[in-house]
Chain A
Amino acid sequence: MAELTYRDAVARGIAQEMSRDPDVVFLGEDVAAAGGVFKTTVGLLEQFGPQRVRDTPISEQAILGAAMGAAMTGLKPIAEIMFSDFFAVCFDYLANQFPKSRYMTAGQVKCPLVVRTANGASVRFGAQHSQSVENWVMMIPGLKVVAPSTPVDVVGLLAASVRDPDPVIFLEHKGLYATKGEVPDREIVDSLGTARIVRPGKNATILALALMVPRAVAAAEKLQAEHGIDCEVIDVRSLVPLDTRTILDSVSRTSRVFTVEENPRLCGWGAELASLIAEEAFFKLDGPPVRITTPHIPLPASDRLEDLALPSVDRIAETVRRSLEA
């Protein structure tokens, strides 16, 4: 068991899979010689060589297109898009190509690839390098969407994504790269479509993703300490496939549910969950589902303004307290 940063866990996960399977290849901008602009892929070029770890031009369409062509003819590519905001310049592959190829060809074409990207705010990069775009990809039939919150989940979910036969969008969170956690030395393989109860509780369920998970846990501790409110926190981990069983079971026990979402409000992932819970667990609820989100705004750069935009520990705790006391 070693303590690893979330950042180092990325390289660890990629290396684990590249060591196992020679068909796993890795491409992206500045990923090889430079080790990634977030230093998430340091050492991979040295370990696996330039044929398997390839620097590309600033050509997001070429990166994703090449990954798809390689995937449909037998490789298992991992493609990096440096910032998830850049999905907007290669969205054709995410929306039209990867997810539809199998369906349109009645199963002839397969697209087993992983797109890794740095998602989310808290690093003061402004409106075009800080977005949480999980809702952009969650809505597309044919994609799978994963967002780990801990170093061990980075390794295990990345391994599961590489081994998955479908295209997987793997959303790393920029604000978590420096965080640390215990990671066993052995091979780690998790499974997609599994949420995790990270803090059991009985008064309310808080659903969170990525950077919002540690904030939700901190809010739950604060609510417990200051108000005696005992919240269950669930790390959703995988938006597609979605572990509705764990979520509905928790909501049925606690009778209240809150989502903590970094994406802007409209059509955020929590809207789908709130709707699903309303449809399937309405009579177990003691109050309405409540969504705690970034407002419907582009993200500002200033630390003061960015901090106001994202759900904070205090905002989460206060929203839960007021809702339960209402």
Chain B
Amino acid sequence: MASQPTQAGRLQPKAANGAGAADISKDVRLRLYRLQVEIRESEQRAYDLFLQNLVKGTSHLSLGQEAVAAGFAAAMEPGDLTFCTYRGHAHTLARGTPAEKVLGELMGRDNGLLRGKGGSMHLTSVEHGVMGSYAIVGAHIPIACGAAWRAQYKGAKDVTVCFFGDGTTNIGSFHEGLNLAVIWKLPVVFVCENNLYMEYTPISEVTAVDAPAAGRASAYGLECPVIDGQDADEVYRTAVAAIQKARSGGGPSLIECRTYRYSGHSRADPAKYRPAGELDRWKERDPIKVYRARLLELGMSEESLAEIERTAKSQVDEATEKCKAAPPPPADLLLTDVYADGGSAWRN
């Protein structure tokens, strides 16, 4: 079982990785750092709120996976579309959805993104291009294709980015969607967040190829980059290239990001199945820790990074207090928005 990130695959973006690379501007790097810190703060808060029983139901956190969400969001333009899975808090936040809206939804409050009707697994913010979090594994792969088909048909320039986990690569809709995207040359980027576990089972134990997504990509005539999903710069560069390719009519791409989730699959999972030491090894390469060190090495000031951290924390603190004070959804919301007339009437 692969317990360390693999080396970058054969089709890497051309720029060099790591400190000293000048291809990414200071502003973008600060944004990448800020996004990761904001996601970390918000996800950690979601976890704390579970423990206080203020977040009910289930929740799937992206602690440890922040660099993938940040790297892609920073590479996307306003108007580009995000489709993600039930592990979607990070992607929803990364596109600019306020933490209050996300935490409010997790807490089932009226100020939530979906006014409490969707919950953690269905975060959606159309105004931020977040077209939904899909809780049935693989369902959104063809749906993302459809959104990209609309862009192609209308001559619109937006690109659809579709995130999914390693487990998704073993369900049929993944393969149906990839094939359709290629034969129709759709402007869509498929992003596998390979965190090494499909729920509770190591992905390597249940998958025919070593790289669950990239190893299948060649079957659809796609290049198959495997990248270090813990390095926001590497994610960003790869994302820029793939999004540019899609936007210019070059068709779909698939990228497999090797990453790791620090918590279990969901709230109910203590992740006891992980070998001793694995979590600690990954935490040594924590994406935020690594990126912070790089920014300091590149000459950014300790104070500017500390300010980003302070601001993120105070924003999440403020959002938390607003959510705690927010009322539950009103009872009449129960029967609304089943049909387009706003209600749920099925008869006259």
For B345, list chain A residues within 8 Å (CB).
241
The verdict on A75 contacting chain B, using a C-beta distance below 8 Å, is: yes
The verdict on A298 contacting chain B, using a C-beta distance below 8 Å, is: no
The verdict on B206 contacting chain A, using a C-beta distance below 8 Å, is: no
Residue of B nearest to A65 (CB): B142
Residue of B nearest to A66 (CB): B146
Least distance between A166 CB and chain B CB atoms (Å): 5
Least distance between B19 CB and chain A CB atoms (Å): 40
Q: Is the CB of A62 within 8 A of B114?
A: no
The verdict on A103 contacting chain B, using a C-beta distance below 8 Å, is: yes
Q: Is the CB of B340 within 8 A of A104?
A: no
Among B44-89, those with CB < 8 Å from A are: 81
Q: Is the CB of B340 within 8 A of A102?
A: yes
Q: A57-B180, A59-B176, A106-B118 are in contact. Are A66 and B337 (CB under 8 A)?
A: no
Judged by DSSP, the binding face of A is mixed
Residue of B nearest to A145 (CB): B346
Q: Is the CB of A65 within 8 A of B147?
A: no
Contact of A107 (CB < 8 Å), options: B81, B172, B177, B336: B336
With A and B bound together, what is the CA distance between A281 and B173 in angstroms?
Answer: 46
For A105, list chain B residues within 8 Å (CB).
114, 117-118, 122, 124, 126, 132
Q: A102-B337, A142-B339 are in contact. Are A65 and B117 (CB under 8 A)?
A: no
Residue of A nearest to B121 (CB): A104
Among B127-147, those with CB < 8 Å from A are: 131-132, 134, 136, 139-147
User: Which of these binds chain A: B148-156, B263-271, B292-300, B308-316?
Assistant: B148-156
Contact of B131 (CB < 8 Å), options: A61, A72, A107, A243: A72
The verdict on B201 contacting chain A, using a C-beta distance below 8 Å, is: no
The tally of residues in B whose CB lies under 8 Å from a CB in A reads 49
Residue of B nearest to A95 (CB): B136
The tally of residues in A whose CB lies under 8 Å from a CB in B reads 51
Q: A66-B146, A72-B131, A109-B126 are in contact. Are A104 and B346 (CB under 8 A)?
A: no
Q: A25-B153, A69-B143 are in contact. Are A243 and B348 (CB under 8 A)?
A: yes
For A240, list chain B residues within 8 Å (CB).
346
Q: Mark A36-77, 1 if CB is under 8 A from B, else 0.
A: 000000000000000110101101011111111111111101
Q: Is the CB of A142 within 8 A of B338?
A: yes
Q: Is the CB of A65 within 8 A of B146?
A: yes
For B348, list chain A residues within 8 Å (CB).
193, 241-245
Sample (18) of A-B pairs whose CB atoms are under 8 Å apart: A57-B176, A61-B142, A62-B179, A62-B180, A63-B142, A64-B142, A65-B173, A69-B144, A69-B146, A72-B143, A74-B150, A102-B338, A107-B342, A108-B114, A108-B126, A109-B124, A112-B340, A240-B346
